[in-house]
Amino acid sequence: MQAAARAYTNIALIKYWGKKDEQLILPMNSSLSLTLNAFYTETRVTLQQSLSCDEIIMDGKVLSGHSAEKIIRFMNQVRDQSGNRTYALIVTNNHVPVASGFASSASGFAALAASAARAYGLDCSGVALSRLARRGSGSASRSIYGGFVKWMKGTKDEDSYAVPIDPANWGIRLVVVAVNRQKKKISSRLGMKRTVQTSPFYPIWMKEAEKDLGRMEQAIHHHDLEMIGEIAEANALKMHATMLAATPPFTYWEEGTLTVMRRAAHLREQGIPCYFTIDAGPNVKLICSVEHVDQILDDLSDFFPLEALITAEPGPGVQFLEDPIH
């Protein structure tokens, strides 16, 4: 009645932005991501008959408030599916900044879904885990798998899940620039909701995102890194444009965000293929090939401390841990 799992974050190259069903977390558009090896979450779930409620320990501290309530709601769904009403001790360690645009909810709920599913005796196959993880965080559906992953928006709970499409083992890298690791002022959930409800650009975004997805799948199939970068960069800018058109308008960008965007353009002028993508936060991820990583790091080191620059390789899918974490 105990299980532990590790899951890695992912970076959306075709963004998920907006829900058509808040309870089931069904997205307005399909999306596509790359799982990264640089950031991950490890979670252990232990069923305990003595507990009168779930107990959650995150990074060594007892979790309470809204974050705990979100996990408890997720665990209630696990209990509903399994028919086992036993509460659990949940111990989770994040090796990723929380709520700052590094996709901590993706790795967090993917690890929780895997460990909870195994502890409660649920189906641990990829599709089942992806659907379950989605109920905690939409992007977590993609962190079940490694490499390039597509999350099909679906029309209901049963057909909204992610599938792997390419192992990404052909030299693609991401240089992550940690502009600001602090918690963002506007959560992704609130940002999505405001954009869907008020941005006049949102209907255009949905159409463009689906077009970008088809083009991105072709670029990945051909291992065309420059095309992948161009599409990802344009898709990110379109998503952030919908936020600037919302009422009231908002943006996650900071001065450092703009600096990285400018450096990417400068590097391309110097003949180095380098493209940015930005999630709901100020931090920037640069898409490049392994052969250009050192040149990109050298350029960025004039503007950012070395500890703010992280090189990420494509990461694996969720992993069950034989020696549960402590």
CA angle 210, 212, 216 (to 5 degrees): 120
- Residues whose CB is less than 8 angstroms from the CB of residue 168 and which lie 6 or more positions away in sequence, other chains included: 34, 146, 147, 148, 314
CA 270 to chain CA mean position, Å: 31
CATH class of the domain at 2-167: alpha beta
CB 100 within 8 A of CB 184: yes
CA angle 228, 232, 235 (to 5 degrees): 140
What pLDDT score was predicted for residue 104?
83
Nearest to residue 161, comparing CAs of 122, 130, 136? 130
CB 167 within 8 A of CB 147: yes
Give pLDDT < 70 ranges for the chain: 97-103, 323-326
Q: Burial of 322 by CB count in 10 Å (0-12 exposed, 13-18 middle, 19+ buried)?
A: exposed
Residue type, 48: Q
CA dihedral for 91, 12, 174, 259, sign (positive or negative): negative
Phi and psi angles of residue 39, each rounded to the nearest 5 degrees, phi first: -130, 135
CB 70 within 8 A of CB 98: no
Distances (CA, A) of 7 to 31, 92, 142, 235, 253: 19, 11, 10, 26, 27
CATH number of 172-312: 3.30.70.890
Domain ranges in the chain are: 2-167, 172-312
What are 50-92's pLDDT values in tens digits?
Answer: 999 999 999 999 999 998 999 999 999 999 999 999 999 999 9
What pLDDT score was predicted for residue 325?
55
- Residues whose CB is less than 8 angstroms from the CB of residue 92 and which lie 6 or more positions away in sequence, other chains included: 41, 42, 43, 44, 56, 57, 58, 59, 108, 111, 112
Q: Using only C-alpha atoms, what is the Rg of the chain?
A: 19
